[in-house]
Amino acid sequence: MSKQLTHEFLVENGLILFETIIGSQAYGTQTPTSDVDKKFVYILPMDYILGTGYVEQINVNKDYTGWELRRFLELMETNNPTVLELLNSPEDCIISKHPLFDLILAHKEDFITKLCKNSFGGYARQQIVKAKGLNKKQNWEKDKVTRKDLLDFCYVIQGDKSIPWRAWNANKYDEKFVGAVNIPNARDTYALFYDSVAEMLHSENTDEELRETYKEALRKAGKSMGMGYKGLINTGHEDEDGKINYGISNQLRLSSVPKGEKVIATIVYNKDGYSEHCKDYKEYQEWLENRNEARYVETQEHGQRIDGKNMMHCMRLIRMATEIGQGKGIQVRREDREYLLSIRRGELDLDKLIEEADNAIKNMDEVFDNSTLPDRVPKGLVNALLVTIRREFYDLPISATTLEKRL
């Protein structure tokens, strides 16, 4: 067992039982940019079975995976969509087939049960949930969501109303010269004061020559150059791309204010709302960075951007599950390929598509409720196939209980 178990090793030693192309190439929904996904079933050398070196799966790369015979049959028993599709591969997709694999193919209909409602349909439901989540993010993108700072979550209390700080202020007060003080026993509530002297001396809105004149006059009079308020927020610093980094703090800056100063406003800061915005914005930026751009398409009439591949496979799974429930078997090569490709190209509105998928799932549920398919794979089938194929492959004596008798 010292030899590394690789696909090349399996091929060289005749351990591949079945290998095929799956995915869009098998469905007939491939595009010029589609990957070629391949799956295979292998049988381990006997030493791996008798010893502790059992390897149930080999990943050549993300698009090229294989299962050991036992693991493959276990997945078959659960009606795993990928392995059932593999078992029903179109002839032009099959790369190689060992004669012993015909024993499994001869019983492929026995593996089609009502479990497909949850294996195929359940995965389709997950895709709809994912699509709805993506739709939310696409709407963020469509609405040109921009990074907000903490002042967007501050509100001036005025009578029985709360007014957004920036709407109330309307550039009347420069935030750099505002001093904030906690109001005792009032969570996230602050009294604001303004340093008009500092504004006069330091504001860029005042002519520089006039500012110097004011400073000189105060120096001669021996008066203070302002209250030294810290401003409302730390606006951060520019990053290497010239964008402001707002991740300095989620707190208002507090100042020391002498007694007797006049309050200009009382504000409430929605700190929880700001924290939630920061979290959402970070998730959105990560999503923008990590998404597979090639999968996203513009819908022709509505300008939405959708993950066309995701929604195409969602509808394919629902339709395949419905066909299975109707007793039509597993139809991998799709006759409805043009409809599916229209989804991938973004020719259907996402909201209507999600509504159509929801209705199709309801129909699928009704079909399975009335289906004559068995509830589960026949008891003992997996074990009988596994024992029979291993005995044949390893050239072991066939027991008196043959596959036929086991069934």
The b/e string for 233-258 (b: 16+ C-beta within 10 A; e otherwise) is bebeeeeeeeeeebeeebebbebebe
State both tokens at 83: 């392995």
pLDDT of residue 2: 45
Stated as kind and residue range, the H or E segment containing 307 is strand 305-307
Confirm if 389 and 43 have CB atoms less than 8 A apart.
yes
The C-alpha atoms of residue 387 and residue 165 are separated, in whole angstroms, by 75
pLDDT of residue 138: 55
The SS3 assignment for 66 reads: strand
pLDDT of residue 147: 78
Confirm if 60 and 4 have CB atoms less than 8 A apart.
no
State both tokens at 405: 């008798």
pLDDT of residue 165: 94
Which residues does the chain have with pLDDT short of 70?
1-3, 130-145, 235-249, 287-307, 398-407
pLDDT of residue 1: 44
Give the count of alpha carbons within 13 A of 149, CB side only: 18
With tokens 């294996």, the residue in question is 119
> β-strands 244-245, 237-238: how paired?
antiparallel
CA angle, 172 then 173 then 177, to 5°: 165
pLDDT of residue 233: 82
The C-alpha atoms of residue 255 and residue 253 are separated, in whole angstroms, by 7
pLDDT of residue 300: 44
The C-alpha atoms of residue 301 and residue 154 are separated, in whole angstroms, by 39
pLDDT of residue 106: 95
